């Protein structure tokens, strides 16, 4: 994949030169007098997959034209880049070589939305070339890459923000606030059981996420969100991890297998059959561009090479003495979780998502009567509008509109948050493989702390 030449970059740039001026003149936003005097932050983006072009590409251009100048985009797949450029709009200069893009445009910030296993390369190159970084989760997929990122951050003195959008839904902010206000007292344990729809798990099995070498397994790719939530809620670093996991339905356990889903010989028999060509957007982004890099978006969920897990269970000890009991499974068609934070003075409990669907969450508070004067109560918090229960727009406003806005709950995540959350997953993976308890301090040069403030 990495030997792709700068396929049609020159064509893109040539076209861009002619069209971009027209686009700017035609923009309704530019007619606002205030914008003539406001300094915009210049950003560029690497990784033009579905996440990069929607959450950060098109939305940044559409919603934050007054504060952000999205200057250029990069991906190793020239066909996907071409699709992305059209989808995002603005005739952005497009590159297949990251350094070249950064050299020519000198952005203040690089947005990293590439595949998980190459985040570290893009983060380090970006910082080396003078950029602050906004990166998608997971920060990276193993402890070696994590250490490289930490070392580079120290060397280049740039800022890294990890986009943990799971911290931003209003009801999760409320939980954090309650813990910070001392409703549960000192956190002693957390029960956290997350289940994703079985059809959601199927999508992981179809893509690169099914291979540890690309996504670090779902222990890292997905659970980094969950572990970060716990680390953030209880404000402590993890110390050690013991885990179990298994793969029971997918991969080598399947009854048959084909090359990919859209034209498989077992289409009629397979309950996981999905035809990517029926989705114009995904076809244009992925299936139409396979010839450039061999990235198959609708791989067989029963391919023998899948080496991740579908059922996960871990026990995590924290520096502040709390214990996390965690599981992550996909045995239902409902997506949601139960979370309880227990402390010396009470318990906060939430059953979120799943069924029945509702436009709010109820946070149940139960005091420990021997130690708390508070009353039992249910605190109802409405969901916001926008992705992830209203969390995505709140996070994006902080990233792209008002980076200096007060952050009393510490929602914006940095490198340490990114590292500590992936390391729980990395340690869990190692624990499953070895049967041993894995210590976080053995993986990295950070010392786990009981109070992260």
Nearest Cα to Cα of residue 75 among 66, 88, 62, 63: 88
Q: Is 211 in the site for ligand NAD (CB under 6 A)?
A: no
Q: Is 223 in the site for ligand NAD (CB under 6 A)?
A: no
Give counts: helices (H), strands (E), the chain. 17, 15
Residue closer to ligand NAD (CB basis): 182 or 354: 354
Task: Please report where in the chains the tokens 């139409």 appear, as a residue.
Answer: 288
Q: What DSSP letter does each residue of 177-232 carry, written as one string?
A: HHHHTTTT-SEEEEEEEEEEEHHHHHHHHHSGGGSHHHH--HHHHTHHHHHHHHHH
Residue closer to ligand NAD (CB basis): 85 or 137: 137
Q: Which of residues 158-177 bind ligand NAD (CB under 6 A)?
A: 163, 165
Computed over its alpha carbons, how large is the radius of gyration of the chain? Answer: 23
Residue closer to ligand NAD (CB basis): 105 or 374: 105
Per DSSP, what are the bridge partners of residue 109?
Answer: 43, 132
Q: Which structure tokens are listed for 73?
A: 């985009």
Residue closer to ligand NAD (CB basis): 317 or 396: 396
Cβ at position 235, least distance to ligand NAD in Å: 22
Q: With residue 351 as reference, give the H or E element that holds it.
A: strand 346-353
Contact pick of 120, 137, 198, 430 for ligand NAD (by CB under 6 A): 137
Cβ at position 199, least distance to ligand NAD in Å: 16
Task: Please report where in the chains the tokens 């890292």 appear, as a residue.
Answer: 220
Q: Tell me if 230 sits within 8 A of 364, measured CB to CB.
A: no
Cβ at position 30, least distance to ligand NAD in Å: 30
Q: How many residues bind ligand NAD (CB under 6 A)?
A: 22
Cβ at position 432, least distance to ligand NAD in Å: 21
* 255 burial via Cβ count (<10 Å: 0-12, 13-18, 19+): exposed
Contact pick of 43, 60, 73, 77 for ligand NAD (by CB under 6 A): 77
| Buried-state track 325-350, b at ≥16 Cβ within 10 A, e below 16 | ebbbbbeeeebbbbbbbbbebbbbbb
Residue closer to ligand NAD (CB basis): 255 or 294: 294
Contact pick of 16, 52, 143, 337 for ligand NAD (by CB under 6 A): 52
Cβ at position 12, least distance to ligand NAD in Å: 15
Residue closer to ligand NAD (CB basis): 163 or 320: 163
Contact pick of 16, 68, 71, 75 for ligand NAD (by CB under 6 A): 75
Q: Is 57 helix (H, G, I), strand (E, B) or coil?
A: helix
Cβ at position 437, least distance to ligand NAD in Å: 28
Per DSSP, what are the bridge partners of residue 93?
Answer: none
Cβ at position 32, least distance to ligand NAD in Å: 31
Task: Please report where in the chains the tokens 């059809």 appear, as a residue.
Answer: 199
**x/- letters, 95..124, toward ligand NAD (CB under 6 A):** ------------------xxxx-x------
- Contacts with ligand NAD by CB under 6 A lie at 46-52, 74-77, 80, 113-116, 118, 136-137, 163, 165, 221
């Amino acid at each position: 994949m990495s030997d792709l030449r700068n396929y049609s970059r020159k064509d893109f740039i040539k076209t861009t030169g002619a069209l971009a001026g027209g686009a700017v003149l035609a923009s309704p936003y530019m007619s606002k007098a205030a914008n003539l005097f406001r300094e915009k932050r210049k950003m560029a983006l690497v990784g033009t997959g579905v996440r990069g072009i929607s959450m950060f590409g098109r939305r940044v251009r559409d919603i934050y034209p007054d504060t952000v100048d999205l200057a250029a985009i990069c991906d190793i797949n020239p066909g996907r880049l071409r699709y992305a450029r059209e989808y995002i709009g603005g005739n952005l200069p497009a590159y297949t070589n990251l350094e070249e893009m950064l050299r020519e445009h000198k952005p203040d910030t690089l947005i990293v939305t590439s595949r998980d296993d190459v985040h570290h390369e893009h983060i380090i190159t970006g910082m080396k070339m003078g950029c602050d970084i906004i990166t998608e989760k997971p920060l990276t997929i193993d402890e070696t890459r994590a250490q490289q990122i930490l070392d580079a951050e120290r060397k280049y003195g740039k800022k890294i923000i990890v986009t943990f959008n799971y911290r931003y839904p209003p009801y999760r902010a409320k939980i954090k606030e309650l813990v910070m206000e001392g409703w549960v007292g000192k956190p002693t344990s957390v029960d956290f059981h997350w289940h994703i729809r079985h059809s959601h798990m199927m999508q992981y099995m179809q893509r690169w996420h099914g291979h540890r070498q690309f996504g670090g397994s779902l222990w890292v790719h997905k659970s980094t969100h969950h572990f970060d939530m716990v680390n953030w809620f209880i404000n402590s670093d993890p110390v050690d991890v013991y885990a179990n996991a298994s793969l029971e339905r997918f991969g080598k356990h399947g009854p048959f297998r084909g090359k990919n889903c859209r034209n498989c010989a077992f289409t009629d028999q397979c309950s996981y059959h999905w035809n990517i060509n029926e989705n114009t957007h995904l076809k244009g982004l992925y299936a139409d561009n396979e010839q450039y890099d061999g990235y198959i978006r609708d791989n067989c969920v029963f391919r023998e090479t899948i080496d991740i897990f579908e059922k996960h269970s871990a026990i995590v000890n924290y520096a502040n003495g709390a214990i996390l009991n965690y599981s992550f499974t996909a045995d239902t068609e409902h997506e949601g979780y139960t979370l309880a934070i227990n402390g010396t003075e009470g318990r906060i409990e939430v059953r979120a998502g799943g069924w029945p669907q509702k436009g709010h969450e109820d946070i149940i508070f139960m005091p420990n009567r021997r130690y708390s004067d508070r009353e039992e109560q249910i605190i109802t918090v409405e969901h916001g509008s926008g992705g992830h229960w209203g969390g995505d727009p709140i996070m994006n406003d902080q990233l792209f509109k008002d980076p200096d806005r007060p952050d009393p709950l510490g929602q914006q995540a940095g490198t340490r948050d990114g590292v500590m959350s992936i390391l729980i997953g990395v340690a869990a993976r190692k624990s499953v493989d070895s049967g041993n308890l894995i210590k976080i301090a053995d993986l990295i040069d950070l010392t786990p702390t009981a109070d992260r403030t």
